[in-house]
């Protein structure tokens, strides 16, 4: 799915309250960490890799990656960086 508007609409329909555009610099990586929210991201440009629980999601333009809240993972942008549209679904208080 590469249509940004349709992706954002699908995120909102699935309960993702926050949608952000994010840029990752070429070769940027984040060490092992987690988030307190579910993540679903669409790669708009470049490559973006998420590694968690022994599985690697290596995504290029038009591909989607997902992470459950609390899942420990690493992130890395490819040599040309990455542009992402990311949804965050927070648990209800």
**Can you give the CATH number for the domain in which 72 is found?**
2.60.120.10
All residues at 6 or more sequence positions from 91 whose CB lies less than 8 Å from its CB, including other chains: 36, 37, 69
Helix (H, G, I), strand (E, B) or coil at 39: strand
Instruction: State the total domains in the chain.
Output: 1
pTM passes above 0.85: yes
| Predicted pLDDT of residue 80 | 97
**Per-10-residue mean pLDDT, the chain, length 93:** 86 96 96 95 98 96 96 97 97 68
Residue 64 lies in domain? 4-90
Q: Which of 31, 39, 63, 59 is nearest to 47 (CA)?
A: 59
pLDDT recorded at residue 93:
59
Sort 84 into a burial class: Cβ within 10 Å, 0-12 / 13-18 / 19+. buried
């Amino acid at each position: 799915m590469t249509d940004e508007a349709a992706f954002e609409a699908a995120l909102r329909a699935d309960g993702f309250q926050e949608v952000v555009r994010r840029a990752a610099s070429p070769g940027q990586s984040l060490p092992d960490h987690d988030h307190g929210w579910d993540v679903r991201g669409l790669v708009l440009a470049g490559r973006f890799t998420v590694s968690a629980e022994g599985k690697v999601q290596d995504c290029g333009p038009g591909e989607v990656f997902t992470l459950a809240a609390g899942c420990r993972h690493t992130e890395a942008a490819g040599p040309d960086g990455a542009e992402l549209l990311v949804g965050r679904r927070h648990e209800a208080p």
